[in-house]
Amino acid sequence: MSLYNRRTALAALISASLLGGCGFSPIYGEGTAADGLRGTIDITSGKGREFFAMRERLVERFGFTSAPKYRLSFTYKAESEGLAVSTTAEVTRFNLDGTSDFKVVDADTGAVLLTGTVTSKTAYSATSETFPTRVAEQDARSRLALALADQIVTRVSATAPKWAK
């Protein structure tokens, strides 16, 4: 059996031509509004491990800035919920539901350009030992923070043509 499938190739070619015809274009292409955001957004955040992880991911994706055009602020909230219960009535699996509200404002005028909320979920396993459970929880909270930050980047980049100067 050949790995090359003519139907798949034909479907991809047709899809590409249809997407090009409807105005589809890459977000991060040269000269796009999202490409112009790099190095122009000052990112502010709260205190704590998760805020730090989110801010670092946002800075990594948007770049450092010395003369910001925009300011991005965000919140972080995570709620834990027990999922699995063992035969000895111990919770062995937890879900973390995360939410982040964010806002992009014009650095000069203070006008709000974009607001939004992103959500994500992750989970971790618990053991009868405190230390491994705590480490698993911290890792899950860090993963959740990074997922939320990535969603913020996607939302800001996708909407940049509407509000970026």
pLDDT at 60: 92
CA distances from 155 to 47, 67, 152, 158, 159 (A): 23, 23, 5, 5, 6
Q: Tell me what the mean pLDDT of segment 42-59 comes to.
A: 92
Give the whole-angstrom CA distance, residue 52 versus residue 6.
48
Give the whole-angstrom CA distance, residue 49 versus residue 44.
14
Token code pair at residue 86: 């063992």
Please state, for a pLDDT cut of 70, what percent of the chain lies above it: 74
List the CATH code of the domain at 32-163. 3.30.160.150
Please state, for a pLDDT cut of 90, what percent of the chain lies above it: 45
Give the whole-angstrom CA distance, residue 88 versus residue 155.
44
Q: Could you please report the per-residue DSSP string of 95-123? A: EEEEEEEEEEEETTT--EEEEEEEEEEEE
Q: Residue with structure tokens 């070619």?
A: 13
DSSP 2: -
pLDDT at 24: 55
pLDDT digits (tens, 9 = 90+) for 106-158: 999 999 999 999 999 998 888 778 888 889 889 999 999 999 999 999 999 88
Mean pLDDT (the chain) is: 83
Provide the CA 11 distance to its chain's centre, in angstroms: 31
